[in-house]
Structure 1
Amino acid sequence: MSPTRLHARLWPLAPGVAIVATVAGAVLAPLATGAAVLGLAVLCATVRRPRATAVAAMVGGPLFLSGYAAGPVTLDNVTVLYGAAVGTGWLLARRRVGTPLAAWPAALALAVTLAAAANGGAGLPGTARFLSLVVLVLLVANSAPETRRRTTTWVEIGVTVGALVLIAQPLTGYPEAFGTAEGVGQRFGGLFGHPNFAAYTICLVLLYQLYATRFTALRLGSAATLLLALLLTGSRAALLVFVVLLLPALWLRARRFFGLLLPAVAALPFVGTTVVTRLASIAETGGLSGRNASGWRFGQWQDALEATRGHELLGIGWGQTVSVMGDELGAHSTYVQLWLEVGRIGSLVAAVGLAVLLLAARASRTALVLVAYALITSISDPVLLYPACLTVLLVLLAHLLPGDEGASLDPQPPSAAAPRAGEARTAVPIATRRPQGAPA
């Protein structure tokens, strides 16, 4: 019997063998079987759609998997590294263009590397994390505008799903809730992790929806879900800065503004205790005394700055702030943390990357709003260093900022292919491009 005929006879048996093996494995070794099936699915997705798989891994990891351990690291680190490896391979196989959005994570990676070299090699996790963000930004930038739009839509959907898990958290008890510093009420972070991680990420998507997109019924439902989740986080800085940046919508996007105001008012009876008690603590103390008040953060900044003595140039090393703080808590500021951990040289490198990002954001009003939100909130929390926040910010900016460089890098559909010999070339009308986020 020829090999071809034998192959034709045996091939129909493959589905049956796969089903029997899966059922037997699920009964005898369910964990190993589940891992094998998941790994095979990921491998198939990687072969068929490497870019989409890489982006999904690098975005989904920080949003959903930061609370799950995978040996000495968390599961989001594993997915991010896998996505970065696949994305790097995809980029190396094609003609590439750069983007100024990569300047900030690239500058952070360089600053962390310099500080690590001066402090015995510590800081590899930070370098890998920020380099993976460089790969993510380049992947999105080297995509067609329609692909960037779809990626942003999926980020909206992903953050909304995370918000739904957060809203269900008081009912399900999963993940475990956070208590408030005032001892009244609870705060929730869902799969995002800490409530502050959730709050800043949600606010970035809310501002994007309010200023840059068509407010369809589905997007209104998403925005209402995100707003309710934001209130449940109980993050004062995130909420206050969000409200300030929301005020221009009174005349720019009045209908959207009131579309968000109504569900917020309706949610207050259910989440008002957490929000009111946390805001009341600022009014009662003047915001300068009491645990977790503004004055407490001033004390953290002072302690962190004092710890820089003797390490002024290249800092104490990435991720070492907790070890030099008396209360074993962070510096609670992007800028203070960078000054302490990567020193003056590293901070200067990071400042150059941030300046490039700011200059690029000038092309879109909505991009400026998002960057302004991240910059202001980074005063009291390391928002520009949080993986989930920075990931979402960079993906949104990659869609908002003008530039169609990626259009020529994607495979062209048959209709766009060059005409054959003897065929007439159809003239294509040229449309003037409007920067994303500008009013229609």
Structure 2
Amino acid sequence: MSADPGPARLASALWPLVPGTAVVAAVAGLLLAPLATVAAVLGLAVLAASVRWPRETALAAMVGGPLYLSGYAAGPVTADNVAVLYGAAVGAAWLLARRRSGTPLAAWPVALALAVTLAAAANGGAGLQGTVRFLSLAVLALVLVNSTPAARSRTVAWVEVAVTVGALVLLAQPLTGYPAAFGTAEGVGLRFGGLFGHPNFAAYTICLVLLYQVYARRFTALRVASTAVLLTALLLTGSRAALLVFLVLLLPAVWLRARRFLGLLVPAVVALPFVGTTVLTRLESISRTGGLSGQNASGWRLGQWQDALEATRGHELLGIGWGQTVSVMGDELGAHSTYVQLWLEVGRVGTVVAAVGLAVLLGAARGSRTAQVLLAYAVVASVSDPVLLYPSCLTVLLVLLSELLPARDAGTAAAPGSGEAGTAAPTTTPHLQGAPA
């Protein structure tokens, strides 16, 4: 017996009405409740993208959130937290649907999440936000290494573009006034962070991409333009530590990549009339706030470290709890050091756990010179600022390392039939799209 054609005939007759109904509903919604309608349309678009392109949607949310949304409130949290949580959920679902490979890239965020959890257990449950944030970074690393080398290369290229766009917004900030600039502690000039949020977030994130580009195997015209934009934006952040460590790690590249520095002179000279005054103001501010005196100088940081270490008394083993440094500091500011902050907030036990995770990550980078440079920058700069804890910095670092680490350390390609190429990753990372050596 043939199936009843009635329902099929009815569906065929009603289907042409769907577009018209959607248009009428959208117009009526925009007139009666525009904000709710726009939110509903965007939500449906995100859900559709998540179903059609789960990996790409997850990466976009987990990377774009820290880069662009940390300065916008979303109820009790910031918008980047919402984006990262959604991206991590989609990424975890994508991972569960296929054969998975582990990676030492996840060692550092997983160790941090474990350290935060141990400290939380001893301090009344505080630290859930830190645990979730670092676990989401582990999901990011796993999604990357379970993608094909070509997909990782595309993700790195888009991160370069995204950070460059963020730097352009930062360069326009002195002219547009958006977002609001940050004043220096000494009242000398202004500091700019653009969509990255705090100027330190911008400075260290920009430096990581700059080092990646400078040590790249190919230095195309687009990359020259991007580097010029990033260098100028770095000066506007007013971060001395970010700039000084960057210059130190740039010295080997001056010898290894000498010719490409000549290519940077032309765009630098062209940009000087437009941003020269602002750059000179920032350099004056940096020079006047340096040394051992002043609230934002090296001596002030030494005082912060001393106060933070003294606050560990009585909480030596498991710390005072994640995110609690501000509450025990006399000036209600942070410890301004990854290592001092960990020692204070997660204690000796948590610090040892974190140290193991960092050691695993450092060991995995032994096969790539560029990866070693990036990790050296993050590790050294973390002495004076919590670079290895900043979400935007750690996100960009993991994305860049995912392409640089040898395949045996970074992971393998997805299994056949999973929507990725069926071939396993090669034993060495290919230099696609001008990837670093």
SS in structure 2 at match of 1:406: coil
Aligned counterpart for 1:407 among listed residues 395, 413, 422: 413
Aligned ranges 1:357-368 → 2 under 5 Å: 357-368=361-372
Is 2:275 aligned against 1:271?
no
Instruction: State which drifts further: 30-39 or 175-184.
Output: 175-184
Q: Is the contact between residue 185 and residue 273 of structure 1 (CA under 8 Å) also seen in structure 2?
A: no
- Partner residue of 1:289? 293
SS in structure 1 at match of 2:301: helix
Aligned ranges 1:33-182 → 2 under 5 Å: 33-182=37-186
Is 2:256 aligned against 1:249?
no
Aligned counterpart for 1:231 among listed residues 232, 235, 241: 235
Corresponding letter in the other structure for 1:154? W
Q: Is the contact between residue 179 and residue 185 of structure 1 (CA under 8 Å) also seen in structure 2?
A: yes
Corresponding letter in the other structure for 2:398? L
TM-score under structure 2 length normalisation = 0.92
Q: Is the contact between residue 227 and residue 260 of structure 1 (CA under 8 Å) also seen in structure 2?
A: no
Q: Is the contact between residue 281 and residue 293 of structure 1 (CA under 8 Å) also seen in structure 2?
A: no
Is 2:360 aligned against 1:356?
yes
The CA deviation at 1:408 is: 4.4
Instruction: State which drifts further: 130-139 or 84-93.
Output: 84-93
Q: Which stretches of structure 1, 4 residues or more, deviate above 6 A after TM superposition?
A: 437-440
Change (3 A) 1:274 1:351: farther
Q: Is the contact between residue 62 and residue 88 of structure 2 (CA under 8 Å) also seen in structure 1?
A: yes
SS in structure 2 at match of 1:212: coil
- Partner residue of 1:371? 375
Once superposed, what is the RMSD of the aligned Cα atoms? 2.2
Q: Is the contact between residue 414 and residue 422 of structure 2 (CA under 8 Å) also seen in structure 1?
A: no
Is 2:305 aligned against 1:298?
no
Instruction: State which drifts further: 119-128 or 92-101.
Output: 92-101
Change (3 A) 1:199 1:417: closer
Paired with 2:407 and 2:77, the residues of 1 have a C-alpha distance of 37
The CA deviation at 1:21 is: 1.2
Percent identity of equivalent pairs: 76
Change (3 A) 1:237 1:263: farther
Instruction: State which drifts further: 270-279 or 353-362.
Output: 270-279
Change (3 A) 1:263 1:305: farther
Paired with 2:422 and 2:174, the residues of 1 have a C-alpha distance of 54
Paired with 2:266 and 2:115, the residues of 1 have a C-alpha distance of 45
- Partner residue of 2:195? 191
Paired with 1:301 and 1:125, the residues of 2 have a C-alpha distance of 24
The CA deviation at 1:279 is: 3.2
The CA deviation at 1:182 is: 3.1
Q: Unmatched 5+ residue regions in structure 1?
A: 419-429
Paired with 1:435 and 1:368, the residues of 2 have a C-alpha distance of 17
Change (3 A) 1:184 1:84: same
Paired with 2:307 and 2:418, the residues of 1 have a C-alpha distance of 57
The CA deviation at 1:263 is: 4.1
- Partner residue of 1:341? 345
The CA deviation at 1:83 is: 0.8
TM-score under structure 1 length normalisation = 0.92
Q: Unmatched 5+ residue regions in structure 2?
A: none
Deviations 1:86-139 (A, max 9, x none): 111111111111001110000000000000000000000000000000000000
Paired with 1:417 and 1:60, the residues of 2 have a C-alpha distance of 28
- Partner residue of 1:311? 315
Corresponding letter in the other structure for 1:205? V
Change (3 A) 1:417 1:215: closer
- Partner residue of 1:9? 13
- Partner residue of 1:384? 388
Change (3 A) 1:77 1:275: same
Is 2:224 aligned against 1:220?
yes
Paired with 1:388 and 1:381, the residues of 2 have a C-alpha distance of 13
Deviations 1:29-84 (A, max 9, x none): 11100110000000000000111111111111101111111111111111111111
Corresponding letter in the other structure for 1:115? A
Corresponding letter in the other structure for 2:200? N
Q: Is the contact between residue 192 and residue 237 of structure 2 (CA under 8 Å) also seen in structure 1?
A: yes
SS in structure 1 at match of 2:334: coil
Count of residues in Structure 1 that have an aligned counterpart in Structure 2:
425
Paired with 1:295 and 1:182, the residues of 2 have a C-alpha distance of 14
Paired with 1:327 and 1:81, the residues of 2 have a C-alpha distance of 32
Deviations 1:329-348 (A, max 9, x none): 00000000000000000000
Paired with 1:274 and 1:401, the residues of 2 have a C-alpha distance of 40
Change (3 A) 1:139 1:410: farther
Paired with 1:213 and 1:278, the residues of 2 have a C-alpha distance of 35
